[in-house]
A and B are shown apart, each in its own frame.
Chain A
Amino acid sequence: DTGVSQDPRHKITKRGQNVTFRCDPISEHNRLYWYRQTLGQGPEFLTYFQNEAQLEKSRLLSDRFSAERPKGSFSTLEIQRTEQGDSAMYLCASSFINTGELFFGEGSRLTVL
């Protein structure tokens, strides 16, 4: 399977714990995106990378959130000191530069108790 893969698919954690999600994009793609989706809503943009450079971060991304793409390949999204409001589906997508066709993974669902 050469699509976008995300790990883990499901994560249940207690409030205050740290969690990390990993995304492996399609290998030829330069851009990698993180989105967050809550029930009944469309995905909301969090951040994106072009190669290893993080080019934009949404105001939704508080200081507790950090994303990296160290070698321009896979990416991690870490949430520190999780809160119940962080419960959501975290989506990763990748694309070539200058195309609106994003390829999405199936998402990582976070539940904070």
Chain B
Amino acid sequence: DIVMTQSPDSLAVSLGERATINCKSSQSVLFTSNNNDCLAWYQQKPGQPPKLLIYWASTRESGVPDRFSGSGSGTDFTLTISSLQAEDVAVYYCQQYYTPPLTFGPGTKVEIK
């Protein structure tokens, strides 16, 4: 099974500042057929279901603000919120969908400093 890890567990960022979350997979999730990484990012606000933010490691889902961006390849990935807004307070999860079981990372909680 592919194990997903995230760092940090939590972070507090001032409004308007950058937030960076890291995700690492225990093996490559590169889909060679299209040369894309099978890595997604989700946002979960309290009391709500998760919401897809990013897929193929760096493709923003429709309607997601452009302050959210994904980067990385192979086994190391990053979610960046370029200018944190109050509504971005949430837990963020990465997930690999390269091979079942389609494992999630443990989550990173983002708060306002």
The reply to whether chain A is a binding partner of chain B is no
Chain A positions near chain B (C-beta within 8 angstroms): none
